[in-house]
Amino acid sequence: MAVSWEEARDKLRELRDSNVRDGESVVDLGERLVRKYSSKLGDELWLVCEQVFIAALDVDRDDVADMCLEKLSSNFPKSSRVMKLQGMMLESQGCADEAEELYKTILAQDPTNAAVRKRLIALSKWRNWKNPGATIKMLTEYLEVFMADNDAWLELADLYIAQMDYDRAAYCMEELILSNSFNHLYHQRYAEIKYSKGGKENKELARQYFAQAVKLSNNCNMRALYGLLMTCTSLCGKVSQSEDSKNKQYATWAAKMIAEKYNNTWVQDKDVSLDGKKNVTPSKDVPQLMASVQQSLSLLNLQDGVA
């Protein structure tokens, strides 16, 4: 059933506001809007054109991308924002050198253009994926100017992790935690880095941050719950007797929470959750998932502690 142009417009607004990148849906809705209802959109047409252009690149619809870019270029011939889109089009066509030159031309006019600098960083990452040293250098220089860019800190942390430079990766996550101490994903990521580095002190710190991530997420962060379980399991036998007892207690609690989440999400013998949506993991796989939890606890002789 075809949606009205108002419904398509509202859906695209919703996707823009929520920063959801759903290329196929955006192109399906937006192509018809841009082709047939441009006059009805008013000034919102340009936002829609930009949104549909990026989505068209994602799903390899060059015809739609060309249409949107032509409208934007004719209406904003000297806009750096449109020039950035032209560079993205060149990237999608494999013309990396031409795209780089265009981005540098934009930066010569406006050195503070963060979006274009990030496009250059993305180009460097694509070109130097085997040796990301140049990309790391560009990102650190970028963050010296745009220190509040959380996505850039996350990207830099990922690059350091790929190089197994856990100390610098941890520093990136510390900056993010300082900027937003209530984001449970930052605490979880920091804990994972410390756990990966290994050693008693790092694992004890990882346990604290996994626990904090669980707390901030209202016990809903499954990665943090698993991290807490694995960290406590690995620490048992390597600390004092009183700490050993606490680790067993924490591991048992984490396992109970994991079991509770599985039981609340999956319906026995069905692949449909309680809210009627199809589950990502079939119910037949739940016993195997729970077996991994039981295996971890078996090392601590805690099997009876989990329902």
Specify the pLDDT at position 96.
93
Answer for the pair 190, 177: CB distance below 8 angstroms, yes or no: yes
Specify the pLDDT at position 268.
45
Specify the pLDDT at position 303.
42
Burial 93-131 (b: 16+ CB within 10 A, else e): eeeeeebbebbeebbeeeeebeebbbbbbbbbbeeeeee
Q: How far apart are CA 305 and CA 90, in angstroms?
A: 59
Q: How far apart are CA 254 and CA 231, in angstroms?
A: 11
Which residue shows structure tokens 């100017």? 145
DSSP 92-141: HTT-HHHHHHHHHHHHHH-TT-HHHHHHHHHHHHHHTSS-THHHHHHHHH
Q: How far apart are CA 33 and CA 40, in angstroms?
A: 9
300-305: long-range pairs with CB below 8 Å, 24+: 300/233, 300/236, 300/248, 300/251, 302/248, 302/251, 302/252, 302/255, 305/252, 305/255, 305/256
What are the distances in angstroms from CA 55 to CA 4, 86, 241?
Answer: 20, 14, 57
Q: Compute the 3-state secondary structure of the chain and give helix, strand, coil in percent, each to the nearest 5.
A: 75, 0, 25
Specify the pLDDT at position 267.
47
Q: Which residues of the chain have pLDDT under 70?
A: 1, 239, 265-307
Reference 115, options 88, 135, 95; nearest CA is 88
Specify the pLDDT at position 265.
63
